[in-house]
Amino acid sequence: MTKNSKPNILVTNDDGITAPGIKALIEAVSDFGNLVVVAPDSPQSGQGHALTLNTPLRLRKVKHFEGIEAYECSGTPVDCVKLAKDVVMGERGIDLCVSGINHGSNASINIIYSGTVSAAMEASLEGIDSIGFSLLNYSYDADFEPAKKYVRHLVDYVLKNGLNNTKLLNVNIPGLPAEEIKGVKVCRQAEAKWVEEFARAKDPHGREYYWLTGKFINSDNSEDADVVALENGYVSVVPSHHDLTAYDAIDGLRAVEL
């Protein structure tokens, strides 16, 4: 953090800069520091850690949020963070990155498809403490008010204490009225998955197409799984990282001398 000044907080999301969720996030954290918003100019849900290699990126200063420096970017959430760090913030530096509030769950396996959490992870790769926030309500008109309390609580904690070696928190908030949310639970990512059901139809030109749809199936009922905490009315906090190594498989594979 820059000496004698408020922290620089980068705000991004994957639902796009006009989504109500990012507005709620900005409202929740605006008094914690100097906010700079760099967010996609269009919805980028399900973009995971995608980045834009083969086309140029556009970055445009906008006035969507009163008194707050904000830019919309033509790329993915990860592109936004890369541009924020290298082009927008440069020597100013970023002390904290918050991403969201996503319209819909990023608990369990959703984390790997999530543009919201991938944006936060991209910042964490740069050594920046980062939090992805998601509300378990997919609706455009979701009520983000109850979520704001937990956003503020966690941002306050992270700004005061830092995240040490873990630089990334994946936070999901139940889609419940404030009085029904029971508190915060530190969890692990549940072992759940999506079962696809492609809708198959013909376009107006008679050509067949497929459209992805699916059902989320949780088979992980242990108490420390994020999906279970959410079902029980808790905000789930999963410390997360970018190391995908399956360490427990290394010795076995070494033993067979591949």
Concatenated DSSP letters of 80-125: HHHHIIIIIIGGG--SEEEEEEEES---TTHHHH-HHHHHHHHHHH
User: According to CB under 8 A, which residues from 70 to 99 bind a copy of itself?
Assistant: 76, 78-79, 82-83, 85-87
Q: Beta 34-40 vs 8-12: how paired, if at all?
A: parallel
Among 3, 63, 141, 211, binds a copy of itself (CB under 8 A): 211
- Using DSSP, state whether 53 is helix, strand or coil: coil
Phi, psi of 140 (to 5 degrees): -60, -35
CA geometry: angle 215, 49, 251, nearest 5 deg:
85
* Ranges within 49-68 binding a copy of itself (CB under 8 A): 49-54, 56-59
Pairwise CA distance, residues 80 & 88, whole Å? 10
Query: What phi, psi does 60 have (nearest 5°)?
Result: -135, 130
254 is an interface residue for a copy of itself by CB under 8 A: yes
C-alpha closest to that of 79 among 46, 45, 52, 112? 52
Q: How far is the CB of 34 from a copy of itself (least distance, A)?
A: 22
Indicate the pairing of strand 214-218 with strand 192-196.
antiparallel
Residues that bind a copy of itself (rule: CB under 8 A) add up to a total of 79
Stretch that binds a copy of itself, among 20-28, 111-119, 137-145, 172-180 (CB under 8 A): 111-119
Q: Which of 205, 215, 223, 258 binds a copy of itself (CB under 8 A)?
A: 258
Site for a copy of itself in 147-206 (CB under 8 A): 153-154, 157, 161, 163-166, 168, 170, 184, 186, 188-189, 191, 193, 196-198, 200-201, 203
Q: Which of 48, 100, 146, 175 binds a copy of itself (CB under 8 A)?
A: 48
x-or-dash pattern for a copy of itself, window 2-41, by CB under 8 A? ----------------------------------------
Least distance (Å) between residue 228 CB and a copy of itself? 14
